[in-house]
């Protein structure tokens, strides 16, 4: 019995040895791929520039990847994300680069907005971003592994002053009834408070409640005279501070906690909504005071215009805020009827081309874009595409800008 066990082990080792030898002869080394993709950045440490928000603050550039046969088509994909997010689909800024493009730049405004709104970075906190470029091939008789390069950049954000507040009020002897009136946050900027209020001659105070304590907003220069319609620097103080209200009437008060400014508009400087004129069906002149907008385009298959149920900002009647999830290609018209006037109405959309012809552009979430308006054929045939995931659109008709956000 022992002899049989011994022979069994010998034969097993012999067969295994033959198998290993056969496998070894059948395996050949894969030729090493000589990658050539080189990624560089303009600076590894940047400070966002609040004075030049739309200027490029960082540029990533790369040399082409290794050459292949004409049967292979190479494409480049770039991704930007916060370190630690691993370029997730919900957090990465991804672009398919055009043929022959070997660089990608970002502005201070883009990085600041993404930091606050997309990546949730606390105010005034520095952060590190990762940028990745991927070269990949399609076609050809063989599979070609992609080339991937990643670099990091340290970012110092724009320094902002954000006062802590649970509630902000308007009070003092200028407020009728001597009772405080709470100021709500504005929809377009959650760090901003605004209110339209009837005041009488007297003193206007702006108390701030936080953690059970009350402080007061004061002008940075301690001046008590209202600088009508002008944003002034503010500070917090424990003792009461008052602005002198000389004339009775409806006042608009705006406090921007992020910029640390306050603006008081008297009746003499009252802000008015935007008014536009256009010719309807049959050339009949129309005048529209804008307090609402309608989507019209591919987004509604050019059928019945979609009422946006915009909210007019308390900070400025020419700021309209849409909170909804409808996305797609559209223009924004000032008339919502289902007759032919919907096709002739004054429309807001992207600017015309340099030669004055219609064009179509796509909004980028978190980036302020120019807004153009008119009733010419070219303007009515220009469209913005609202990107997927957008649920807030801010129309600033005074400064003619548009901002799409995902909150």
Q: What is the mean pLDDT of the chain?
A: 89
Q: Are β-strands 192-199 and 181-183 bridged in parallel, bridged antiparallel, or unpaired? A: unpaired
Q: Which residue is associated with the tokens 């009437």?
A: 249
**So what's the pLDDT on residue 162?**
53
**In the predicted structure, residue 3 carries a pLDDT above the cut 60:** no
Q: Which two tokens stand for residue 47?
A: 């400070």
**In the predicted structure, residue 118 carries a pLDDT above the cut 70:** yes
**In the predicted structure, residue 33 carries a pLDDT above the cut 90:** no
Q: What is the mean pLDDT of residues 164-186?
A: 91
Does this model's pTM top 0.85? My answer is no
* H or E segment and range at residue 144: none
Cβ-Cβ contacts under 8 Å for 7 (sequence gap 6 or more): none
Report the length, in residues, of the chain: 407
What are residue 369's phi and psi, to 5 degrees?
-120, 155
Q: What is the mean pLDDT of residues 24-30?
A: 50
**So what's the pLDDT on residue 210?**
85
Confidence of residue 70 (pLDDT cuts 50, 70, 90): confident
Of 368, 362, 361, 369, give the one whose Cα is nearest residue 388: 362
Residue by residue, DSSP assigns 36-73 as --EEEES-SEEE--TTSTTSEEEEEEEE------TTEE
Q: Are β-strands 127-139 and 181-183 bridged in parallel, bridged antiparallel, or unpaired? A: unpaired
* Cβ atoms 210, 203 nearer than 8 A: no
d(CA 206, CA 255): 9
Among the residue ranges 81-85, 236-240, 356-360, the one predicted with the least confidence is 236-240
**So what's the pLDDT on residue 69?**
66
pLDDT > 90 in the chain, percent:
71
pLDDT > 70 in the chain, percent:
90
**So what's the pLDDT on residue 10?**
46
Residue with the bigger pLDDT between 161 and 405: it is 405
* Cβ atoms 37, 102 nearer than 8 A: no
Find how far residue 219's CA is from the centre of its chain: 31
The helix/strand count (H/E) of the chain reads as: 3, 32
Confidence of residue 328 (pLDDT cuts 50, 70, 90): very high
Confidence of residue 375 (pLDDT cuts 50, 70, 90): very high
**So what's the pLDDT on residue 209?**
92
Among the residue ranges 16-30, 217-231, 285-299, the one predicted with the least confidence is 16-30
Buried b / exposed e along 30-63 (16+ C-beta atoms within 10 A): eeeeeeebebeeeeeebebeeeebeeebbebebe
Of 187, 178, 207, give the one whose Cα is nearest residue 321: 187
Residue with the bigger pLDDT between 18 and 165: it is 165
d(CA 248, CA 198): 7
User: CA dist 230 to 63, 163, 177, 241, Å?
Assistant: 50, 20, 27, 18
**So what's the pLDDT on residue 31?**
59
Q: How many CB atoms lie within 10 A of CB 69?
A: 11
Confidence of residue 22 (pLDDT cuts 50, 70, 90): very low
Q: What is the mean pLDDT of residues 53-66?
A: 93
Confidence of residue 6 (pLDDT cuts 50, 70, 90): very low
Confidence of residue 117 (pLDDT cuts 50, 70, 90): confident
Confidence of residue 161 (pLDDT cuts 50, 70, 90): low
User: CA dist 91 to 78, 80, 114, 118, 402, Å?
Assistant: 13, 9, 9, 7, 22
What are residue 97's phi and psi, to 5 degrees?
-75, 145
**In the predicted structure, residue 344 carries a pLDDT above the cut 70:** yes
Q: What is the mean pLDDT of residues 56-82?
A: 88
Angle at 331 between CA 326 and CA 335, to 5 degrees: 95
**So what's the pLDDT on residue 9?**
46
**In the predicted structure, residue 12 carries a pLDDT above the cut 80:** no
**So what's the pLDDT on residue 400?**
96
**In the predicted structure, residue 261 carries a pLDDT above the cut 80:** yes
Among the residue ranges 62-76, 169-183, 380-394, the one predicted with the least confidence is 62-76
**In the predicted structure, residue 347 carries a pLDDT above the cut 80:** yes
* Cβ atoms 260, 234 nearer than 8 A: yes
Q: How many CB atoms lie within 10 A of CB 389?
A: 12
**So what's the pLDDT on residue 143?**
76
**So what's the pLDDT on residue 279?**
97
d(CA 69, CA 35): 15
CA dihedral 87, 92, 98, 100 (to 10 degrees): -50
DSSP SS3 for 3: helix
**In the predicted structure, residue 318 carries a pLDDT above the cut 80:** yes
């Amino acid at each position: 019995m022992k002899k049989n066990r011994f022979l069994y082990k010998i034969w097993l080792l012999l067969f295994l040895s033959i198998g290993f030898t056969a496998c070894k002869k059948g395996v050949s080394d894969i030729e090493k791929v000589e990658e050539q993709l080189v990624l560089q950045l303009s600076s590894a440490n940047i400070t966002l520039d609040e004075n030049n928000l739309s200027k490029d603050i960082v540029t990533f550039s790369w040399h082409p990847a290794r050459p292949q046969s004409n049967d292979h088509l190479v494409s480049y994909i770039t991704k930007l994300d916060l370190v630690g997010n691993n370029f997730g689909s919900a957090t990465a800024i991804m672009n398919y680069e055009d043929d022959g493009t070997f660089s990608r730049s970002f502005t201070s405004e883009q990085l600041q907005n993404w930091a606050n709104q997309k990546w949730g970075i606390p105010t005034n906190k520095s952060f590190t971003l990762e940028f990745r470029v991927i070269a990949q091939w399609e076609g050809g008789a063989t599979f070609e592994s992609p080339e991937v390069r990643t670099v990091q950049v340290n970012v110092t954000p724009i320094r902002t002053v954000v006062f802590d507040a649970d509630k902000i009020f308007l009070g003092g002897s200028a407020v009728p009834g001597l009772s405080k009136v709470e100021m709500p946050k504005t929809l377009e900027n959650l760090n901003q408070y605004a209110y339209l209020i009837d005041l009488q001659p007297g003193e206007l105070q702006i108390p701030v409640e936080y953690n059970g304590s009350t402080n007061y907003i004061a002008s940075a220069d301690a001046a008590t005279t209202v600088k009508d319609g002008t944003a002034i620097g503010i500070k917090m103080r424990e003792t009461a501070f008052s602005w002198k209200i000389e004339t009775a009437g409806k006042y608009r008060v705006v406090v921007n906690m992020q910029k640390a400014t306050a603006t008081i508009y008297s009746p003499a400087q009252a802000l008015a909504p935007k008014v536009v004129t256009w010719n309807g069906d049959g050339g009949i002149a129309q005048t529209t005071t804008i307090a609402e907008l309608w989507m019209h385009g591919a987004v509604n298959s050019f059928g019945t215009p979609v009422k946006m149920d915009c909210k007019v900002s308390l900070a400025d009647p020419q700021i309209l805020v849409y909170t909804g999830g409808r996305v797609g290609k559209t223009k924004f018209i000032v008339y919502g009827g289902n007759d032919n006037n919907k096709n002739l109405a004054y429309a807001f959309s992207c600017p015309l081309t340099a030669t004055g012809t219609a064009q179509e552009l796509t909004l980028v979430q978190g980036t302020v874009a120019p807004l153009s308006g008119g009733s010419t054929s070219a303007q009515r045939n220009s469209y913005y595409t609202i990107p997927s995931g957008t649920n807030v659109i801010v129309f600033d008709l005074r400064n003619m800008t548009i901002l799409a956000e995902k909150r």
